[in-house]
Chain A
Amino acid sequence: MNSHAPPPGPRGCLDTPVLKQRGQHEVFCGLTGIIWLHRKMQDAFFLVVGSRTCAHLLQSAAGVMIFAEPRFGTAILEETDLAGLADAQEELEREVARLLERRKDIRQLFLVGSCPSEVIKLDLARAAEKLSAQYAPHVRVLNYSGSGIETTFTEGEDACLAAMIPALPETDERQLLVVGALPDVVEDQMLDLLGKLGIDNVKVLPARRADSTLAVGPNTVFALTQPFLGGSLAALGRRGARHIPAPFPFGEEGTTSWLRAVAMEFGVDLTLFDTVTHAPRARAKKAIAKAAEHLDGKSVFFFPDSQMEIPLARFLTRECGMEAIEVGAPFIHKGVVGPDLELLAEGPTLAEGQDVDLQLERCRAAHPDLTVCGLGLANPLEAEGLTTKWAIELVFTPVHFYEQAGDLAGLFSRPIHRRNALRLEAAE
């Protein structure tokens, strides 16, 4: 199980037909990304232009009120705003002025579009341009859409990063750009590994603060750390940067493959690569093996959530000995998850999009040992006797690269372990 399952057929699941159904989607909208993006970018404020529903979503998804005054808020549209659009632009400018007056620490302001603002065609791009001119150079104002009619959950981060890319300065420098919001501790581990491999000119998008020296150009190569960044990939392509395709750095195998792809791009000596990765690889394997005891031979069913499903299915089947029954994802972008699909052995149903009632029927019929699903479904399925893992935790928890590989496996093994540990009936 551990020293990697044999590689599947030459193309794995790459050519597996994808089941596409249209019905109720049980997913978050892209606004949810603000919850982690505002922690990552420490001088940014996210101003959603939307309705009370948007504000309520952010508050509920954030686990209600973690921070006294968070760096996000909602400009709630009211009846009067819906009547005339010129009015709404002025109102927005007034609210921004008030906000920036109170929060002098803000250097980047994102105007985030929502379902209602998209439907009434509120021109946030124009508003951002105008406000940017007004508050430059101290504050940069950008806009993107996190609306549910256009984005699903993690696509909000993609839209945010893609909005930042056209505004980046140009550079001819040969550099590696790593794209995706990672917890600082994980990002530091990654930079350390890359440094030991001799790759020093590394930039990270998003940067922790606005005044970083981030730039992009034709000699930039980039690697994604999150599988939901298809829009950012395209935006970087338009700036002349080149993508390094690789499996995602989940688990020991994923991390090694990701690092190797980057190392090959930079011509890193293979002996050096082995020396640098040897110890952390061994640690990761050991940590995974412990959690995998509960996972080996068990089946898993993924409901669509974050687009991390395919790389995670690859990790669970190849490094933890699980069998995937269905791998559902909101979108399957083969240009991004192709290398992971190639490693995923044929067998599971691949599903894109969702009709939640039909998918629940398939899940109940398959009765998997572990179901990975959203918060709205987890307790109802537990009550039906299925063991579940809430998908949102995979986005909020440090799970990338070697040192977190054991934690990642642990996220999946804990629910199974718990179900075995509980003794809630009378002794016989």
Chain B
Amino acid sequence: MKLSVWTYEGPPHVGAMRVATAMKGLHYVLHAPQGDTYADLLFTMIERRNHRPPVTYTTFQARDLGSDTANLFKTACKEAYDRFQPQAMIVGASCTAELIQDDPGGMAELMGLPCPVVPLELPSYQRKENFGADETLFQIVRMLAKPTDRTKHITANLIGPTALGFRHRDDITEITALLEEMGISVNVCAPYGSTPEDITRLGAAHFNVLMYPETGEAACRWMERELDQPYTRTVPIGVGATHDFIKEVAGITGLAPKIDTSRLRLPWYSSSVDSTYLTGKRVFLFGDGTHVTAAARIARDEMGFEVVGMGCYNREMARNIRALAKEFNVEALITEDYLDVEARIEELAPEMILGTQMERHIGKRLGIPCAVISAPVHVQDFPARYSPQMGIEGANVIFDTWVHPLVMGLEEHLLHMFRDDFEFHDDAGASHHGHAAKARVETPEPAQVEPAPTSDNVIWLADAEKELKKIPFFVRGKARRNTEIFAAERGVQEISIDTLYEAKAHYAR
């Protein structure tokens, strides 16, 4: 038993729903109690889908348990087929139905429904949403995809985008365009927008683009083995990764690497003098493994940030993230407990967080700016405008998104100059963020200053603590931390104003 307040991932059947809802002509019969239908609203409200997810829930109740939940499932299956006439069905159980052991897969098989039925075994008490999506797509592909002749011209499948995915809708458009420039067309994009009939044609592509390892890797591996289709390992998020991706595709296909960078603005925006203030900003990264990996490279190599910590919530990616963290010389945090993440952020006191909607809330609480880079998603992660993460436009979008929460260049200098100004002060926040301006509250000097908060037995003297408060909020955490490390390394027990400025000189960049 593990106490959880907020979760990064839903249960595995929600992953299966993300696959089913992304597809057309597929229907999911889910053996589940009344109440599990809440999952519909994830798609209709968060993603603003204009149709119900193609899911029939058996919605059994307590009184059905003693009698015949198995029959309830069979009736639901039969009626779902009759009503929706799908090309294929997937069947499975949610966490409660798993306990009553009705074996939906076995029952559906025996019913002899006039369409292929894919049984799903998703262990609800061990695995989570991403596994559910990955496994569901894999099982659908395994049952329906058959070896077939390759298309005459070079084509690729896009594998992994699902409903409720972080910017999947727009990434598909971006990658399709990237491939198009090299003369490669998309054979099938799955699961997003595909039908079971399309899945049978997967084998016609020359290779697969694995867009999101979280939700597409098992299918890609199977197709590599059974359909002899290589798949791409580079996820093209960021400028460097996009160039690497093009190279990888060229290597697979034998085509010349070609990319039109006329619309790519990140490199110049990052080099322009206005961006000098971004140099060495200390950032903490958290999200799914794929997005964190991409963000780490962008943060360091393309924005000039300093990555001070990173982690992911999906254990499937733990090994990759640990290796990456080692390369960045930081400690990896692999956890699904947001309190652990909050504690780590508090400890590291970064100047910015690149995380999920959870970290956005942590940032709000701790007063640290945050940009969202990964699922779990929120209605805000489905903007009306075109807003991919991948490819050329993705890099542009990322530049804007990451810079937005920060106090901008010149404003940062003004804050340094006028830090005690009555309007232009720490609590006023960045001027381009819409909230009411707060006047600075003059607090009378306390007669006796309490011993300042300490860490590792280092004491802040009152004067030093006061001086620290004069430093603008967005660098104060870093100043405090650096000074404490500086003091600890030298065995200094008390931090004075001198210690503060000695530390400042020591860490000058």
Question: Could you list which residues of chain A lie within 8 angstroms of chain B, going by C-beta atoms?
Answer: 23-32, 47, 49, 51-53, 55-57, 59-61, 64-65, 68-70, 72-79, 81-82, 88, 91-92, 94-95, 98-99, 115-116, 118-120, 147-150, 152, 357, 374-380, 382-383
Cβ–Cβ < 8 Å partners of B52 in chain A: 376-377, 380
Cβ–Cβ < 8 Å partners of B58 in chain A: 24
B378:A64 contact, CB within 8 angstroms: yes
Cβ–Cβ < 8 Å partners of A47 in chain B: 3
A74:B3 contact, CB within 8 angstroms: yes
A148:B44 contact, CB within 8 angstroms: no
A55:B35 contact, CB within 8 angstroms: no
B3:A56 contact, CB within 8 angstroms: no
Given contacts A24-B37, A53-B94, A53-B96, 16 further A-B contacts (CB under 8 A): A28-B35, A29-B36, A32-B38, A53-B36, A55-B7, A68-B365, A74-B4, A76-B4, A78-B1, A119-B100, A148-B34, A148-B35, A148-B36, A149-B60, A379-B45, A380-B52
Cβ–Cβ < 8 Å partners of B44 in chain A: 375-380
Smallest Cβ-Cβ distance to A51: which chain B residue: B95
Is the C-beta of B358 less than 8 angstroms from some C-beta in chain A? yes
Which one, A76, A376, A377, contacts B1 given CB within 8 A? A76
Smallest Cβ-Cβ distance to B40: which chain A residue: A376
B10:A52 contact, CB within 8 angstroms: yes
Cβ–Cβ < 8 Å partners of B1 in chain A: 49, 75-78, 81, 88, 91-92, 94-95
B6:A59 contact, CB within 8 angstroms: yes
Cβ–Cβ < 8 Å partners of A52 in chain B: 4, 7, 9-11, 95, 124, 128
Cβ–Cβ < 8 Å partners of B361 in chain A: 65, 68
Q: Which of B9, B38, B95, B358 has the most CB of A within 10 A?
A: B38
A51:B96 contact, CB within 8 angstroms: yes
Near A by CB (< 8 A), chain B positions 48-78 give: 48-52, 56-62, 64-65, 76
Smallest Cβ-Cβ distance to A146: which chain B residue: B35
Cβ–Cβ < 8 Å partners of A376 in chain B: 37-38, 40-41, 44, 52
Near A by CB (< 8 A), chain B positions 234-260 give: none
**A29-B34, A51-B125, A376-B52 in contact; A60/B95 too (CB < 8 A)?**
no
Cβ–Cβ < 8 Å partners of B37 in chain A: 24-28, 376
A51:B124 contact, CB within 8 angstroms: yes
A29:B7 contact, CB within 8 angstroms: no
A116:B99 contact, CB within 8 angstroms: yes
Cβ–Cβ < 8 Å partners of A69 in chain B: 5, 339
**A27-B35, A51-B124 in contact; A357/B2 too (CB < 8 A)?**
no
CA distance A391 to B376 in the complex (A): 25
Across chains A and B, which 7 residue pairs bring their CB atoms closest together, nearest first? A29-B35, A148-B35, A376-B40, A383-B50, A91-B1, A115-B96, A375-B41
A60:B7 contact, CB within 8 angstroms: no
B100:A61 contact, CB within 8 angstroms: no
Is the C-beta of B33 less than 8 angstroms from some C-beta in chain A? yes
Cβ–Cβ < 8 Å partners of A148 in chain B: 33-36, 59, 61, 96
CA distance A294 to B7 in the complex (A): 42
CA distance A277 to B6 in the complex (A): 46
Cβ–Cβ < 8 Å partners of B272 in chain A: none
B34:A149 contact, CB within 8 angstroms: yes
Cβ–Cβ < 8 Å partners of A88 in chain B: 1
Q: Tell me how far the C-beta of B4 lies from the nearest C-beta in chain A, rounded to whole angstroms.
A: 5
CA distance A226 to B424 in the complex (A): 50
Q: Tell me how far the C-beta of A31 lies from the nearest C-beta in chain B, rounded to whole angstroms.
A: 7
Is the C-beta of B285 less than 8 angstroms from some C-beta in chain A? no
CA distance A59 to B14 in the complex (A): 14
B96:A116 contact, CB within 8 angstroms: yes
Cβ–Cβ < 8 Å partners of A60 in chain B: 38-39, 41-42, 46
A380:B50 contact, CB within 8 angstroms: yes
Is the C-beta of B153 less than 8 angstroms from some C-beta in chain A? no
A149:B7 contact, CB within 8 angstroms: no
**A91-B1, A376-B37 in contact; A149/B62 too (CB < 8 A)?**
yes
Is the C-beta of B126 less than 8 angstroms from some C-beta in chain A? yes
Near A by CB (< 8 A), chain B positions 116-141 give: 123-126, 128
Which one, A49, A81, A375, contacts B45 given CB within 8 A? A375
Cβ–Cβ < 8 Å partners of B3 in chain A: 47, 73-76, 95, 98-99
Cβ–Cβ < 8 Å partners of A378 in chain B: 44-45
Cβ–Cβ < 8 Å partners of B128 in chain A: 52
Smallest Cβ-Cβ distance to B2: which chain A residue: A76
CA distance A191 to B209 in the complex (A): 65
Q: Tell me how far the C-beta of A80 lies from the nearest C-beta in chain B, rounded to whole angstroms.
A: 8
Cβ–Cβ < 8 Å partners of B357 in chain A: 64-65
A56:B125 contact, CB within 8 angstroms: no
A56:B34 contact, CB within 8 angstroms: no
Which one, B11, B49, B126, contacts A53 given CB within 8 A? B11
Which one, A25, A31, A53, contacts B95 given CB within 8 A? A53
CA distance A70 to B48 in the complex (A): 27
Smallest Cβ-Cβ distance to B342: which chain A residue: A68
7 interchain pairs, CB-CB under 8 A: A29-B35, A30-B35, A78-B1, A148-B35, A150-B62, A375-B45, A377-B52
Cβ–Cβ < 8 Å partners of B125 in chain A: 51, 77-79, 81-82
Is the C-beta of B83 less than 8 angstroms from some C-beta in chain A? yes
B35:A57 contact, CB within 8 angstroms: yes
A55:B4 contact, CB within 8 angstroms: yes
Q: Which of A26, A148, A378 has the most CB of B within 10 A?
A: A148
Q: Tell me how far the C-beta of A116 lies from the nearest C-beta in chain B, rounded to whole angstroms.
A: 5
Smallest Cβ-Cβ distance to B59: which chain A residue: A25
Which one, A65, A382, A383, contacts B6 given CB within 8 A? A65
CA distance A30 to B62 in the complex (A): 13
A149:B14 contact, CB within 8 angstroms: no
CA distance A56 to B376 in the complex (A): 11
B2:A78 contact, CB within 8 angstroms: yes
Cβ–Cβ < 8 Å partners of B48 in chain A: 379
Smallest Cβ-Cβ distance to A151: which chain B residue: B35
B50:A379 contact, CB within 8 angstroms: yes
**A51-B124, A52-B128, A149-B33 in contact; A28/B38 too (CB < 8 A)?**
yes
B41:A24 contact, CB within 8 angstroms: no
Cβ–Cβ < 8 Å partners of B65 in chain A: 119, 149
Cβ–Cβ < 8 Å partners of A375 in chain B: 40-41, 44-45
The 0/1 profile, CB within 8 Å of A marked 1, for residues 11-29 of chain B is 1011000000000000000
Q: Tell me how far the C-beta of B485 lies from the nearest C-beta in chain A, rounded to whole angstroms.
A: 28
CA distance A115 to B34 in the complex (A): 9
Q: Tell me how far the C-beta of B50 lies from the nearest C-beta in chain A, rounded to whole angstroms.
A: 3
A357:B33 contact, CB within 8 angstroms: no
Q: Which of A24, A49, A118, A152 has the most CB of B within 10 A?
A: A24
Cβ–Cβ < 8 Å partners of A27 in chain B: 34-35, 37
Q: Tell me how far the C-beta of B36 lies from the nearest C-beta in chain A, rounded to whole angstroms.
A: 6
Which one, B2, B13, B61, contacts A75 given CB within 8 A? B2
CA distance A51 to B12 in the complex (A): 11
Smallest Cβ-Cβ distance to B51: which chain A residue: A380
Q: Which of B36, B76, B94, B358 has the most CB of A within 10 A?
A: B36
B49:A119 contact, CB within 8 angstroms: no
